């Protein structure tokens, strides 16, 4: 029997979601335009040319839920992941990295004749564009898994609807396990109707403002109303982030706004900032902290992640977060809103 399945060794948080390799390519011969009908920012490069780039870095063992498990581990929680890989050299590197970092990988499945997910992240100035591809694995939720305290569910491939139902069945059979749900692209497209049971079962639900509008199929822009609409879908606690304006939380009783923590330097790479925020917020609650404390911790970890290339190098310990809090601006405080 796997060590972490023993009754006296319950896992605090299991991250469930796709595992990826990220290759970061820093561009120096590109530009940004917004001369399109939607006025969205576009990364532009010369077509049909050879373009120089500054550097390239490959990082193994990332992915939304894996990043969340890593951040929680750095905060002192016992973590594991349930994920899927191909059978080549990339998968070996991923498992080596994760095991070395202290994340349990006993329930990572390697699929014969399948590739490991490999993203290419085009970095330009302070932001990035991600070229991603989800391999479609034959997802199977582990049998006889001892119930963890929490499951953190995020991005999976588009063939995973039945797998979501397996996760839902597991949660029904183990009501003591709480769910933190941060939907990825495909899960957002599925919407509330097909994933309704997971929304209802969520202890905490995370998304940004634009994602909330897509999930709810609404043009509503008022954050307070979006919080109420998302809460009506079932989650106990709803967290909606809105870029520089910060994060908004609704627990059914009160709505709270938490500001961003100011950058200590210009961002290097924004990959994983949202994962760090959501995981740190969740970890604070697992550790018995209140929502206000969670809203103070989470932006600090998110801020520090963007100072590094990759989603995990900037994850902080509790002592490091408390160190930032000691020197925080006087206005860095969550506030009740209408």
Residue 181: which CATH number?
Answer: 3.40.1190.20
Q: Given this model, what pLDDT does residue 297 score?
A: 98
Q: Is residue 54 part of a domain?
A: no
Q: Is residue 40 part of a domain?
A: no
Q: Given this model, what pLDDT does residue 3 score?
A: 40
Residue 239 near residue 204, CB atoms below 8 Å: yes
The answer, yes or no, to whether residue 30 has pLDDT greater than 80, is yes
pLDDT grade for 314, boundaries at 50, 70 and 90? very high
Instruction: Return d(Cα 196, Cα 166) in angstroms, integer.
Output: 13
Residue 42 near residue 34, CB atoms below 8 Å: yes
pLDDT grade for 254, boundaries at 50, 70 and 90? very high
Q: Is residue 237 part of a domain?
A: yes
b/e per residue 181-210 (b: at least 16 CB within 10 A): bbbbebbbebbbeebebbbebbbbbbbebe
How distant, in Å, are the alpha carbons of 85, 124, 128, 189, 206 from that of 158?
A: 16, 29, 24, 9, 20
pLDDT grade for 126, boundaries at 50, 70 and 90? confident
pLDDT grade for 94, boundaries at 50, 70 and 90? very high
pLDDT grade for 206, boundaries at 50, 70 and 90? very high
Contacts of 57 (CB under 8 A, 6+ apart): 23, 24, 309, 310
Q: Is residue 184 part of a domain?
A: yes
The answer, yes or no, to whether residue 7 has pLDDT greater than 70, is no
Percent of the chain with pLDDT over 70: 98
Tallying the residues shown for the chain, one arrives at: 338
Q: Is residue 57 part of a domain?
A: no
Q: Given this model, what pLDDT does residue 40 score?
A: 87
Total domains present in the chain:
1
Max mean pLDDT among 4-8, 142-146, 299-303 falls in 299-303
DSSP states along 8-28: GG--SEEEES--EEEEEEEES
Mean pLDDT over the full length of the chain: 94
Residue 102 near residue 12, CB atoms below 8 Å: no
Q: Given this model, what pLDDT does residue 127 score?
A: 83
How distant, in Å, are the alpha carbons of 45, 80, 83, 265, 288 from that of 118?
A: 22, 21, 14, 29, 36
Which helix (H) or strand (E) covers residue 108, if one does?
Answer: strand 104-110
The answer, yes or no, to whether residue 1 has pLDDT greater than 90, is no
pLDDT grade for 31, boundaries at 50, 70 and 90? very high
Q: Is residue 79 part of a domain?
A: yes
CA 238 centroid distance within chain: 15
The parent domain of residue 151 ranges over 3-19+64-117+142-337
Name the pTM for this structure: 0.93
Contacts of 241 (CB under 8 A, 6+ apart): 206, 207, 208, 209, 247, 248, 274, 277
Q: Is residue 44 part of a domain?
A: no
CB atoms within 10 A of CB 157: 19
Please give the average per-residue pLDDT across 191-213, as a whole number.
Answer: 96
Q: Give the model confidence (pLDDT) of 57-80 as tens digits.
A: 999 999 999 999 999 999 999 999
Q: Is residue 135 part of a domain?
A: no
The answer, yes or no, to whether residue 2 has pLDDT greater than 50, is no
How distant, in Å, are the alpha carbons of 47, 119, 295 from that of 291?
A: 49, 34, 6
């Amino acid at each position: 029997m796997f060590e972490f399945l023993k009754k006296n060794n319950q896992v605090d948080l299991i991250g469930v979601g796709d595992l990826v390799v990220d290759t970061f390519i820093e561009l120096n011969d590109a530009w940004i335009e917004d001369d399109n009908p939607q006025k969205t920012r576009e990364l532009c490069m010369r077509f049909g040319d050879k373009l120089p780039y500054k550097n390239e870095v490959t990082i193994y063992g990332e992915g939304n839920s894996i990043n969340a498990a890593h951040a929680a581990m750095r905060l002192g929680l016992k973590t594991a992941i349930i994920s899927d890989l191909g059978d080549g050299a990339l998968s070996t590197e991923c498992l080596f990295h994760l095991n070395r970092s202290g994340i349990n990988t006993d329930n990572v499945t390697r699929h014969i004749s399948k590739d490991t997910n490999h993203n290419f992240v085009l970095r330009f100035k302070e932001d990035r564009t991600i070229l991603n591809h989800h391999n479609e694995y034959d997802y199977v939720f582990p049998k006889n898994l001892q119930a963890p305290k929490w499951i953190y569910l995020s991005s999976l491939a588009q063939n995973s609807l039945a797998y979501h139902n397996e996760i839902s069945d597991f949660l029904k059979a183990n009501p003591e396990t709480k769910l933190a749900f941060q939907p990825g692209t495909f899960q957002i497209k599925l919407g509330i109707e097909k994933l309704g049971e997971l929304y209802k079962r969520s202890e905490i639900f995370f998304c940004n403002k634009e994602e909330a509008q897509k999930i709810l199929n609404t043009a509503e822009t008022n954050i307070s109303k979006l919080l109420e609409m998302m809460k009506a879908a079932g989650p106990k606690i709803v967290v909606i982030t809105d870029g520089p304006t910060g994060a908004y939380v609704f627990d059914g009783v009160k709505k709270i706004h938490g500001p961003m923590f100011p950058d200590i330097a210009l961002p290097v790479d924004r990959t994983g900032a949202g994962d760090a925020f959501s995981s740190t917020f969740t970890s604070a609650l697992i550790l018995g902290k209140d929502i206000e404390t969670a809203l103070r911790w989470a932006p600090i970890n998110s801020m520090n992640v963007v100072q590094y290339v990759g989603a995990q190098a900037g994850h902080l310990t509790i002592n490091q977060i408390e160190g930032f809090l000691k020197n925080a601006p006087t206005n860095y405080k969550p506030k009740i809103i209408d």
